[in-house]
A and B are shown apart, each in its own frame.
Chain A
């Protein structure tokens, strides 16, 4: 059991984060809190990806010709997650622009009040 945990604890930790983020989206009534939950969830997925690249004894994936036989961390998850982080930030940017518009128009960011004021 402890070996199961030790070799996979990144999976468990990111699972906890994803669940927390998802809970924020479905259970919270304030739009900003929902957005925060979304962000937490996306960050957790990025962490999950990156945690797959670690290797025991590995070093930064920059090839150093002077050290033969060096073990490098896996570079591909890092590359993918660079793109994913940018996408996450861009989405958050558009989301905040929307929230500003909503607040200007309706004066509130609570879902129940928004429901009333938009009738």
Chain B
């Protein structure tokens, strides 16, 4: 239980700040503030602030190859449960904390519209989701990951269902498919446990050196991949996503769309390349190929379906499927640039999609509608939101100087290095498609002949309350900042982590 980096941050503080503090916040809200919205909101913002501070501490401690290792209760793995945060884990922890804080600052007004009188319980549930996601991002124990996966999933199902009406149907579908996914993941852990006798990721990786490749090992990897793939909405397991994102309340959509699937992708990355690959690289090649094919299918299906949508949230949902296909593509190719691109895409897409859902929530708040048509004249009636929309859309398409450009760039480099020009073509084609449907939105917002800007808005006053505008603006600013500082992030956090440094450059042999 030696902390890796002594100094200004004691190693125990960071896992506590990341996982236990949001949980405590949820408990406090449930115990003291049901019915007291303002107090619940204050508690939520304070706990997410502490969460963000812990995540920033992790970022600093884990840059340039640093690792935070902590054993709960002092029992060293594999006898106890351990936390292991590397550069990538710290990056995702910061993503979770940052998006959560932004959404929580944004939420009160829109919740008053969509979910009156339930705000405290909503905040408590969201804090549980944040705690679970942080727990998933930092744990080194595969069964512990399952427990946090289920906490987060239950919270997500509920957050979707409080939208009422059709949202309950969407949530049940999500529950069914999501729990099947978690069960498959548990099955994979069971098989790995039967083969090695351990539950700690690094320990299993070591134990697998002595296990010969066998059908059971392949089955274990397949089950783990199916399980996490279901959570990640890889094609063809994406059926739950469009309805869930569309009918959930706006604040919930931003939180779930931005974070839930990315953390599952991180888990898949760690399982495939941290646990299985060190000992059984050849086993992963065919599985990687299948993931690549499914990723491409997701990209194509997501992009094509997005073009046809009239409801903005549904359009964003299908665009999410396409981007999760990108992440799957990067993970499947498996060389250093592709995986770096996939990780950077997790961050870029998380921030961009959350910002976009917040903007759509702002439209619902002010205009009462979220159809593509009601975008008309947005440039005049809601100029700041429209500008943020442009920046976020640029990141989704992959244009400089946003973060999305860097993600796409590394992904393309990975495709070319792996000698797969066909994948390069798929990426380019989907970039053009996403440019098409996003530019259609710009046209509606800025150049439309129709103009709803003179329509009486639902609420008087300036464009949006500051508490709603500030997170939107912060999201857009973060996309540009990440895009400009991408080399710092990539070199110091992603490429310096042992996981990525252990990957080959170029075509996998």
Contacts and interface: CB of A to CB of B under 8 A. Distances in A.
A–B proximity contact (CB within 8 A):
yes
B165 A49 contact: no
Contacts of B180: 22, 25, 38, 41
Contacts of A48: 187, 190
Contact of B168 (A22, A45, A102): A102
Contacts of A105: 164-165, 168
A44 to B, nearest CB: 9
Interface string B170-204: 01100110011001001100100110000100000
A118 B169 contact: yes
Contacts of B143: 80, 83
Given A38-B179, A38-B180, A102 B169 contact: yes
Nearest to A103: B168
B480 to A, nearest CB: 40
A95 interface: yes
A95 B150 contact: no
A118 B199 CA distance: 44
Q: How large is the interface on B (under 10, 10 to 19, 20 to 34, 35 or more residues)?
A: 20 to 34
B158 interface: yes
B165 A98 contact: no
A41 B175 CA distance: 14
A91 B175 contact: yes
- Say what secondary structure dominates the interface of chain B: helix
B172 A52 contact: no
A98 B147 contact: no
A87 B169 CA distance: 22
A102 B179 CA distance: 19
Contact of A45 (B158, B165, B186): B186
30 contacts: A34-B176, A38-B176, A38-B183, A42-B179, A45-B186, A48-B187, A49-B190, A52-B190, A52-B193, A52-B194, A76-B199, A83-B143, A83-B147, A87-B150, A90-B154, A91-B175, A94-B175, A95-B172, A95-B175, A98-B157, A98-B168, A98-B171, A98-B172, A101-B161, A102-B168, A102-B172, A105-B164, A105-B168, A118-B165, A118-B169
Interface of B: 143, 146-147, 150, 154, 157-158, 161, 164-166, 168-169, 171-172, 175-176, 179-180, 183, 186-187, 190, 193-194, 199
Given A18-B187, A45-B186, A102-B168, 8 more contacts: A38-B179, A41-B183, A76-B199, A80-B199, A95-B172, A95-B175, A114-B169, A118-B165
